[in-house]
């Protein structure tokens, strides 16, 4: 299957990043904490099975286990070294299962999950409707989906700097919020609510930003990426193109747009598409911006 992402590269990058991931993942933890706040929509119900897709080092899985100590919590990740890190969060008094698998092919039975949580994972999947259809398959009717992803304004400064050097893609293109909402509706989810955050992080220089991306496993995984080293001259030219953005405090800014969503799995037997068979569009103007983080 021809896809824009090289999923073997994604697995390699996150496997390499696993030992030092926590030290670099401050933004990821903050986004995960904000996403966990949406669990309040589940009310007083107690789920039987909770699934964390793209669990990373397992902090969210541990929080889910703490919130619902009687539930079976399953932490799933594509990278086995990440699951080894997650084991440190799975204490004997609050254990959770760990499964190495691809989010695009969840190895769970149909209608077996009550809550599916996935933080900053789905941006690595090109076919969002198919991914969400897989999420719907494993969710029980009335089950809750919580997810977050990066939006198209993420790393816009870095993308622009490299675009002045060559035509090769150096930064992944992330889906806009309207397409994200459409994919949820197309997969049959009900009552989706989408929010956005804009984070502005700062770095001493462009190499510092690139080091953090490598530490996070967030390297370029596009099939169309340059498969040779960028080269010192090209990298220096991109750094120079970034320099005019340097702020009064001496730092270089980096934008990270985060999209959050929660939605409900439909009743059993409900059609995937709406009654007209058309995919509903969700205008960007109708999507609230919840907060702007720093």
Would you state the pLDDT for residue 169? 60
Domains of the chain: 7-155+172-200+258-271 (3.40.50.150)
Q: How many CA atoms lie within 13 A of 54 on its CB side?
A: 23
Q: Judge whether 205 and 252 are in contact, CB under 8 Å.
A: yes
Give the 3-state secondary structure of residue 272.
coil
Q: Compute the average pLDDT of residues 137-158.
A: 95
**Predicted confidence (pLDDT) per residue in 98-140, tens digit:** 999 999 999 999 999 999 999 999 988 888 999 999 999 999 9
- The region of weakest confidence among 113-117, 190-194, 281-285 is 281-285
pLDDT tens figures, 230-277: 567 888 999 999 999 999 999 999 999 999 999 999 988 776 654 444
Highest mean pLDDT among 25-29, 172-176, 290-294 belongs to: 25-29
Given a cut of 70, whether residue 58 has pLDDT beyond it is yes
What is the spatial order of strands in the sheet that 49-53 belongs to? 97-100, 72-77, 49-53, 113-118, 139-150, 252-264, 190-203, 289-291
Residue 78 has pLDDT above 80, yes or no: yes
* pLDDT value of residue 168: 66
Q: Say if residue 3's pLDDT is above 80.
A: no
Mean pLDDT score across all residues of the chain = 85
Q: Residue 154 has what pLDDT?
A: 93
The pTM of this model reads 0.86
């Amino acid at each position: 299957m021809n896809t824009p992402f090289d999923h073997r590269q994604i697995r390699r990058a996150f496997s390499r990043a696993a030992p030092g991931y926590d030290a670099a993942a401050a933004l990821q933890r903050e986004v995960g904490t904000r996403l966990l706040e949406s669990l309040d929509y589940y009310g007083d119900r107690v789920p039987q099975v909770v699934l964390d897709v793209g669990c990373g080092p397992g902090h969210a899985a541990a929080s889910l286990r703490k919130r619902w100590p009687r539930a079976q919590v399953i932490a799933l990740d594509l990278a086995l070294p990440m699951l080894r890190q997650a084991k440190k969060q799975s204490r004997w008094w609050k254990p959770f299962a760990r499964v190495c698998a691809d989010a695009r092919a969840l190895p769970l039975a149909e209608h077996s999950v009550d809550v599916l949580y996935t933080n900053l994972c789905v941006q690595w999947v090109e076919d969002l409707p198919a991914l969400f259809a897989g999420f719907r398959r494993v969710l029980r009717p009335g089950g809750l989906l919580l997810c977050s992803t990066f939006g198209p304004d993420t790393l816009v400064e870095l993308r622009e700097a490299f675009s002045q050097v060559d035509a090769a893609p150096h930064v992944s293109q992330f889906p806009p919020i309207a397409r994200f909402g459409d994919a949820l509706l197309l997969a049959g989810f009900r009552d989706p609510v989408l929010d956005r955050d804009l984070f502005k992080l700062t770095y001493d220089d462009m190499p510092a930003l690139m080091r953090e991306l490598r530490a996070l496993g967030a390297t370029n995984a596009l099939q169309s990426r340059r498969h040779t080293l960028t080269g010192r001259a090209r990298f220096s030219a991109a750094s120079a193109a970034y320099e005019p953005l340097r702020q009064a405090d001496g730092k270089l800014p980096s934008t990270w747009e985060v999209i959050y969503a929660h939605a409900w799995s439909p009743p059993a037997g409900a059609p995937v598409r709406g009654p007209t068979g058309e995919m509903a569009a969700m205008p960007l103007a109708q999507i609230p911006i919840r907060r702007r983080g720093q």
